[in-house]
Amino acid sequence: MQLRIEKIDYEGNGVCHNNGKVLFVKGSLKDELVEAHLVKEGKRFSIYETDQVLKKSPLRKEATCPFFKSCGGCVFDIVSYSDSLALKKEMVEDLFRQQGIGNFDLEILSSPKHYGYRNKISLKVQNGQFGYFEEETHQFVPIKNCLLAKEAIQNFLQDFSLLNFYEGSIMIRVNENDELLLAIETQDLPKIHEKILLNHKIAGILLNGKCVYNAPFFIERMDHLLYKVHAESFFQVNFDIAEKIALDIEKVFTKEDVLYDLYCGVGYFSLKLARIVKQVVGIELNQKAIFNAIYNASLNNISNVSFHVGKVEDLLEKIPLKANKVVVDPPRSGLHKNVRKVLKEKKFEKIVYISCNPKTLVRDLQDLLEVYEIESIKLYDMFPFTKHVEVLAVLKLK
């Protein structure tokens, strides 16, 4: 079917209309004429995938990654990096405008590294090959390398066969010292070849959640702070951008502030902001992350921070220390409705919202803007060439 693309949506797909139905077209760019086939039929929309570009956008270039079409993760690998930033900016601005948040001309900060920036990747393993599931499917795509991963991870993948397992998954993390942390999930009985330990700095190996070599964590250094990061804990994936976000967040706070850091993880923002404010209270559901956060505070001799494990929506009203400002860094699902309810009731002076999903951010803003107003919004290219973009929204009480 021939389709003429009208615009790009917030998922990085081309958009057009046919007989009153919205069509989302993977692998296409604005103003292109493409030949595409149907992937999924819906009542209000359908999803297509590009087979051939009949009329190319002037922005289009050859993909750098050889697995671009089969993997589908790096939707903007077919344009230059500067054009990818412009497209992400346009995507978020369109989303905000369509959902009634407002008309914005947003700044987007670029990533110093366009490739080799990810300090963590998670791979599927089938028939002894590693790879990803194709975007939004469970179709396994074997790869030889991932250009987004840091060099130490890419080097390790060349020795993957020495792990001797054939079905399952593997998560690989690396710190600034190129120390690797591996978490393997498999029903096989892998025998780690000694060359793995000789060729790479292995901080630890976990097998089905149990540490089988060295330690289940490593120490990371960022901005003169040390962080103990467990294999299963959330931590910032692109350090360069994470530090840019942290610097902008610090401008919101003073030494008189008491703040809640909701969804605090291992305490990345908590510890940075503790150097500026009077007191920080961190809340996080992942128990291992909270153990790490408590350890990290001690490791850095920071005493004006406390951490609590549990659901944010359950603990937020039970914390005895009252805060005047809040940092929220929720998962892609955004804020629980009960969290939004409490945020509106407590009427904090400011809410600093770090979002990895503009769609759920918009939903949350539509609710929070009953009580708050937007002071500033800024975009950060945390994941170059993917559809993802980080958004920092600062809200103030009306």
The total of other beta-carbon atoms located within 10 Å of residue 190's CB is 17
SS (H, E, C) 338-376: HHHHHHHHHCCCEEEEEECCHHHHHHHHHHHCCCEEEEE
Question: Is 310 exposed, middle or buried (CB count within 10 Å of its CB: 0-12, 13-18, 19+)?
Answer: middle
The verdict on whether 11 is a catalytic residue reads no
Residue 54 phi/psi, 5-degree rounding, is -85, -35
Q: Which residue has the tokens 């540490």?
A: 211
DSSP-assigned states of every residue in 67-106: THHHH-S-TTTTS-HHHHHHHHHHHHHHHHHHTTS-----
CB 74 within 8 A of CB 50: no
DSSP-assigned states of every residue in 264-292: -TTTHHHHHHHTTSSEEEEEES-HHHHHH
The verdict on whether 356 is a catalytic residue reads yes
Helices and strands of the chain, counted as H and E runs: 10, 23
Alpha carbon of 51 to those of 26, 29, 37, 134: distances in Å?
A: 10, 13, 7, 16
Alpha carbon of 257 to those of 64, 77, 161, 272, 325: distances in Å?
A: 47, 43, 52, 14, 7
Q: Which residue has the tokens 């902008």?
A: 248
Catalytic residue of the set 71, 264, 356, 375: 356
Give the CA count within 13 Å in the CB-facing half-sphere of 124. 13
Residue 105 CB contacts under 8 Å (≥ 6 apart), including other chains: 93
Type and span of the H or E element at 293: helix 287-299
Active site residues: 356, 390
